[in-house]
Amino acid sequence: MQELTHWINGKHVKGTTGRFTDVFNPATGEVQAKVPLASVAELSAAVDDAAKAQVAWGATNPQRRARVMMKFAALINENMDKLAEAVSREHGKTLPDARGDVQRGLEVVEVCMGAPALLKGEYMNDGGPGIDLFSMRQPLGVVAGITPFNFPAMIPLWKMAPALASGNAMILKPSERCPSTSLLLAELLQEAGLPDGVLQVVNGDKEVVDAILDHETIQAVGFVGSTPIAQYIYGRAASNGKRAQCFGGAKNHMIIMPDADMDKAADALVGAGFGAAGERCMAISVAVPVGDKTADALIERLVPRIEKLKVGPYTAGEDVDYGPLITRASQERVKGLITSGVEQGATLVTDGRDFTLQGYENGFFVGPTLFDNVTAEMDIYKEEIFGPVLSQVRAKTYDEALRLTMDNPYGNGTAIFTADGDTARDFASRVNVGMVGINFPIPVPLSYFSFGGWKKSAFGDLNQYGPDAFRFYTKTKTVTARWFSGIKEGGEFAFKAMD
């Protein structure tokens, strides 16, 4: 069985604690590797080395740092299939989905090629008599990223690329369920010219997370995961004087107006609700058709599309629609929530609890599940299921549908499907959600904008990637300068103030 490593000072390093956790093949339920869990001492040593390496890296001019990003992007492209296979092997998602995971991270690296423009300060000439003012953006020092299992390439790249391009050193703590992709990315960064020690990959569990939050050298922490953990990390980091950027759970609604193209809406819901087995924070998990006629038409179109979905391991080929969940515990939790929906009175249209696949009976699969007549009091509505379950909540009016979305405690993403521009503009203006799609089901912004939710989906003032990332990973220093004129008299300089 493979024993994975940490990545410290430019090389693979075995763990020394004797503590490991299993890395599963989600399609078979078998353990395929063990990953070491670092101690506080191991984390501290990695931070100390990162702090030493950061001094020279932070003093490297931004253009040279950007060249490393250029080479890194080229290497990611060259190794796309290798990275995607690593994602699929540990996460279980299909190869096309895994390539998309890598691609969306790569796009952030490409934006970081333009880091010099994003790191410029401001200048004012003659702000006062003979006084000039200018500001500069400087790296924080050592920062940390704590990333989730559901995007093993994308989110580590969202964290590391802007942090490194800004001149920081980074401690990356990937999910212990999917650690291999981060180790591969570290190898590619070294090949691209990143100095040893500037990126340290430290595997671990809560012990390492708490050590990161408490370490006085680490100046900022970026996190993606569940809302309770995001809130915990944000609070503990802030109490220790660190910047924190923490993104949590979601319950994303898609409103379908009576004038919407029902076929396009149904296609969008199937992809957004069941893609990646629903294990993404931007998944649409709640469909809100306005009017019973719209709801009935939507169900009529959804059922045949759902019945055609192909569920299986990533090794089954490119036409698999989605794969298993990440763990047995996730599988059982999702099945339990489906059962609760039945018990609480929702109409179960398609049931994925008994899905089995010949040869993969021990895999963590759940079939596509569709509920109708869901209400806001039910557990399947209130909880982030993080599985292939789509709930339909019927609304009588547009205002009722909008209020349902706005009253939800989460605010990551939302969408509306309509042919009416005025309704779309009203929705985009009024809804209290961070990312909005209009006839677009998963409104993840392009990498030169910024990604971020509202309400209980995000904690912190700045979003991920784009200009916000460079603001987060740098601190601003402002200089006020005044020079005096010199008049030479008798070989001596006599100075007088300009004012």
Q: What is the pLDDT of residues 304-319, one digit of tens each?
A: 999 999 999 999 988 9
Q: Are 334 and 465 within one domain? A: no
For the chain, percent of residues with pLDDT exceeding 90: 95
pLDDT of residue 422: 97
Q: What is the DSSP string of 379-410?
A: HHHHS---SSEEEE--BSSHHHHHHHHHHSSE
CA atoms within 13 A on the CB side of 450: 18
- Contact status, residue 37 vs residue 21, Cβ threshold 8 Å: yes
How far apart are alpha carbons 396 and 268 in whole angstroms?
22
How far apart are alpha carbons 253 and 241 in whole angstroms?
35
**Token digits of residue 392:** 């339909």
How far apart are alpha carbons 448 and 471 in whole angstroms?
14
Backbone phi and psi for residue 467, each to the nearest 5 degrees, phi listed first: -55, -35
Q: What is the pLDDT of residues 144-202, one digit of tens each?
A: 999 999 999 999 999 999 999 999 999 999 999 999 999 999 999 999 999 999 999 99
**Token digits of residue 140:** 């924080």
Reported as type and span, the H/E element at residue 20 is strand 20-25
* Angle (CA) 423 425 430, round 5°: 95
In a domain, 499, yes or no: no
The residue type of 33 is: A
Q: Are 222 and 274 within one domain? A: no
Specify the pairing of strand 243-247 against strand 218-224.
parallel
Backbone phi and psi for residue 299, each to the nearest 5 degrees, phi listed first: -60, -40
- 297 pLDDT higher than 50: yes
Q: What is the pLDDT of residues 66-107, one digit of tens each?
A: 999 999 999 999 999 999 999 999 999 999 999 999 999 999
Map tokens 């990646």 to a residue. 276
Q: Are 152 and 103 within one domain? A: yes
In a domain, 396, yes or no: yes
Tally the domains of the chain: 2
Q: Are 243 and 260 within one domain? A: no
Q: Are 387 and 295 within one domain? A: yes
Q: Are 461 and 343 within one domain? A: no
What is the domain range of residue 415? 252-438
- Contact status, residue 109 vs residue 67, Cβ threshold 8 Å: no
pLDDT of residue 1: 82
How far apart are alpha carbons 294 and 274 in whole angstroms?
21
- 366 pLDDT higher than 50: yes
Q: What is the pLDDT of residues 424-465, one digit of tens each?
A: 999 999 999 999 999 999 999 999 999 999 999 999 999 999
Question: Model confidence at 214, in pLDDT bands (50, 70, 90)?
Answer: very high
Picking from 368, 386, 270, the residue whose alpha carbon sits closest to that of residue 311 is 368
In a domain, 8, yes or no: yes
Q: Are 63 and 129 within one domain? A: yes
In a domain, 186, yes or no: yes
Question: Model confidence at 129, in pLDDT bands (50, 70, 90)?
Answer: confident
- Contact status, residue 282 vs residue 413, Cβ threshold 8 Å: yes
Could you say which of 405, 438, 471 is where a domain stops?
A: 438
In a domain, 497, yes or no: no
Q: What is the pLDDT of residues 459-482, one digit of tens each?
A: 999 999 999 999 999 999 999 999
pLDDT of residue 489: 52
Within a 10 A sphere around the Cβ of 149, how many other Cβ atoms?
20
Please indicate whether residue 281 is annotated as part of the active site.
yes
What are residue 273's DSSP bridge partners?
none
How far apart are alpha carbons 412 and 433 in whole angstroms?
6
Average pLDDT in the 284-298 region?
98
**Token digits of residue 473:** 């990973």
Q: Are 59 and 176 within one domain? A: yes
Supply the CATH number for residue 119's domain: 3.40.605.10
Supply the CATH number for residue 328's domain: 3.40.309.10
The residue type of 75 is: L
pLDDT of residue 370: 98
Reported as type and span, the H/E element at residue 74 is helix 62-78
Q: Are 148 and 58 within one domain? A: yes
In a domain, 443, yes or no: no
**Token digits of residue 305:** 């599309």
Map tokens 């629903």 to a residue. 278
Q: Are 462 and 363 within one domain? A: no
Picking from 119, 118, 110, the residue whose alpha carbon sits closest to that of residue 69 is 110
Q: Are 112 and 199 within one domain? A: yes
Q: Are 380 and 272 within one domain? A: yes
Which of the residues 112, 178, 246, 281 is marked catalytic? Answer: 281
